[in-house]
Amino acid sequence: MRKHKLFKFIDLIIYFNIFMFLSLGITSISDKNAVAVFSFVIASINVLYLVYSVNNRIKVSKLEEKSLEIEYETEEIIKKEDEIDLNYIKLISLERRIETEIKHHFPNSKIIRNAYIPKKDGTYSEIDLIAITSGGIFVIESKNITGTIKGTWDKKELIIAHPSGESYSLLNPIVQNTNHYYSLKNLLDLSNDYYKNIVVFGNKTYIESFKGVPYYAQVCKIDHIANAMKRITNRFRVSLKDYQIYDIYEHLLPFVEKTEEKKVKHLESIKNKKNNIL
């Protein structure tokens, strides 16, 4: 998204240069031939650069699309030849990267991974990552998806367009993460402003639009997680002291142990939600 904005800004500058130097060259033809020649040369260089830049972007875009196709085909081959849960491996890799990014930008933070938080109905809410920082408690849902996300973020479902040409629905991870937030809130009993809802995607995910992302949440790719955390922190100005961060971390640690009973209840909860949707 930022690259597209930067390219548009650069293009505007080039268009301005072309217009300015062409105008100067035309007005200088009669009495200032040297200035006219110089202006036309500069305008021509800008035109050539613009053509080169556009062609280069088209090539990069095609390479990215091809890369996605190759990755998808490779995944399918691996799935057929080996009984490996490749998606699980990709998700773990993304979670590790998220943790590394957070610790780099927020060195005093505490990270909880794969916490099973009890819900009122006796089941468990599995939260991918919880980052406890001076700016609050970040409830992070990670999605390592290959493809393009389509739709608006105020709907219950989104569409994933796969490089293979296939499409399938995805439960809105913001809604999913909001449920995690309520489970965590019931456990810790802090005011709403302390909890931050963030959905993070891997670099192979392309987000078509950010329309409909609610005020209380952020959607981003892994490279932009630090900025997303800072943006939402500025919206809800709360502060946790070091001893509070430590106390919350110690409070949540016992819920990291994944027992078979917790896993079964969590899977039953997911199955029931899917059946209700269908």
pTM as predicted: 0.64
Question: Within this chain, do residues 33 and 120 fall inside the same structural domain, yes or no?
Answer: no
Identify the domain containing residue 125 by its residue range: 86-277
Rounded Cα–Cα distance for residues 253 and 205 (Å): 31
Rounded Cα–Cα distance for residues 104 and 205 (Å): 23
When divided into structural domains, the chain yields a total of 2
Q: Are 197 and 185 in contact (CB under 8 A)?
A: no
CB atoms closer than 10 angstroms to residue 146: 21
Per-residue pLDDT of the chain (278 residues; tens, 9 = 90+): 445 555 566 667 766 666 666 666 666 666 656 666 666 677 677 777 777 776 776 766 666 665 556 555 555 555 555 544 666 777 788 888 899 899 999 999 999 988 998 888 888 888 889 999 999 999 999 988 888 999 999 999 999 988 778 888 989 999 888 888 888 988 988 888 999 999 999 888 888 889 999 998 999 998 899 999 999 999 888 899 999 999 999 999 988 865 444 455 444 554 554 444 44
Question: Within this chain, do residues 36 and 117 fall inside the same structural domain, yes or no?
Answer: no
Question: Within this chain, do residues 154 and 181 fall inside the same structural domain, yes or no?
Answer: yes
Question: Within this chain, do residues 73 and 113 fall inside the same structural domain, yes or no?
Answer: no
Domain closes at, from 81, 99, 125 = 81
Question: Within this chain, do residues 70 and 153 fall inside the same structural domain, yes or no?
Answer: no
Domain closes at, from 30, 46, 81 = 81
Question: Within this chain, do residues 13 and 137 fall inside the same structural domain, yes or no?
Answer: no
Question: Within this chain, do residues 32 and 121 fall inside the same structural domain, yes or no?
Answer: no
Question: Within this chain, do residues 42 and 152 fall inside the same structural domain, yes or no?
Answer: no
Question: Within this chain, do residues 55 and 92 fall inside the same structural domain, yes or no?
Answer: no
pLDDT on residue 1 = 45
Question: Within this chain, do residues 187 and 225 fall inside the same structural domain, yes or no?
Answer: yes
Question: Within this chain, do residues 63 and 130 fall inside the same structural domain, yes or no?
Answer: no
Rounded Cα–Cα distance for residues 29 and 31 (Å): 6
Residue type, 43: A
Domain closes at, from 81, 103, 128 = 81
Bridge partners, 221 (sequence order)? 201
Question: Within this chain, do residues 157 and 44 fall inside the same structural domain, yes or no?
Answer: no
Q: Are 138 and 196 in contact (CB under 8 A)?
A: yes
Rounded Cα–Cα distance for residues 211 and 7 (Å): 21
Residue 171: closest CA among 149, 187, 190: 149
